């Protein structure tokens, strides 16, 4: 079974593909390679300044207004 990466809407997803008979393939969800415990704290100490809700709102509004 192979697991090609597929880009959809700017995201890279991994799916498992199983060959059936000579031609058809069956896409299946790939098994997760990590745990939630491995993900929690992944960015700890790697980020810069923490933004407030108001700052995030201003950035989002500027983006929608095509100012950024």
| Phi then psi dihedrals of residue 22, to 5 deg | -75, -40
- d(CA 17, CA 24) in angstroms, rounded, equals 10
Once rounded to an integer, what is the mean pLDDT over residues 27-51? 78
For residues 51 and 43, which has the higher predicted lDDT (pLDDT)?
51
| Phi then psi dihedrals of residue 3, to 5 deg | -130, 85
Continuous H helices in the chain: 36-39, 53-64
Question: What does the pLDDT read at residue 56?
Answer: 92
Determine the structural domain holding residue 13 and report its residue range.
5-64
Residue 57: which pLDDT band, with cuts at 50, 70 and 90?
very high
Neighbouring CB atoms inside 10 A of 14's CB total 13
- d(CA 41, CA 44) in angstroms, rounded, equals 5
């Amino acid at each position: 079974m192979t697991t090609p990466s597929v880009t959809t809407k700017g995201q890279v997803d991994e799916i498992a593909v199983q060959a059936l008979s000579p031609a058809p393939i069956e896409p299946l969800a790939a098994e997760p390679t990590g745990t939630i415990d491995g993900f929690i704290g992944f960015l700890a100490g790697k980020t810069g300044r923490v933004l407030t809700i108001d700052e995030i709102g201003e950035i989002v509004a500027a983006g929608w207004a095509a100012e950024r």
